[in-house]
Amino acid sequence: MKMAKILLATILLAGAAVPIVTSISDVHAASKKSCVTLYEDVHFKGKSVTICDDVQKLSKLKFNDKASSVKVSKSGNGATLYEHTDFRGGYVNLKPGDKVADFTKLIGLNDVISSVNIK
Ligand SMILES: [Ca+2]
């Protein structure tokens, strides 16, 4: 009798776990990642490129070592800009909604960004 109760409880827990997992994955699928727009010049001017997924080599977008300002969308969890390709070297973490108007004021960041990790 005790075994039956434990078994029943296990089944109930397993049954309850299914909809919970489903709802978490649904939320994850619905939540957008961040997008970043890189600008060639300071104050969001010049050529720009908007990135909504990881880019290991900005040279593919003809944007290697060019970015001088950036805007991050309010969706998602931000992004990290890296000095070198494949997410290496110096980096800067950006939060959703961040705007950096002038990379020349951040030591070592202007015209060096070569990869972007979207979160
Ligand atoms: Ca530039």
How close is the Cα of 41 to the center of ligand 1, in Å? 5
Tens digit of each residue's pLDDT (9 = 90 or more) over 68-91 = 999 999 999 999 999 999 999 999
- How many Cα atoms occupy the beta-carbon half-sphere of 46 within 13 Å? 15
Tens digit of each residue's pLDDT (9 = 90 or more) over 12-64 = 555 544 454 444 444 444 468 999 999 999 999 999 999 999 999 999 999 99
How close is the Cα of 82 to the center of ligand 1, in Å? 15
- Beta-carbon neighbours within 5 Å of ion ligand 1: 40, 66, 68, 111
How close is the Cα of 108 to the center of ligand 1, in Å? 12
Strand positions, DSSP E, 1-63: 36-41, 45-51
Give the pairing of strands 45-51 and 115-118: unpaired
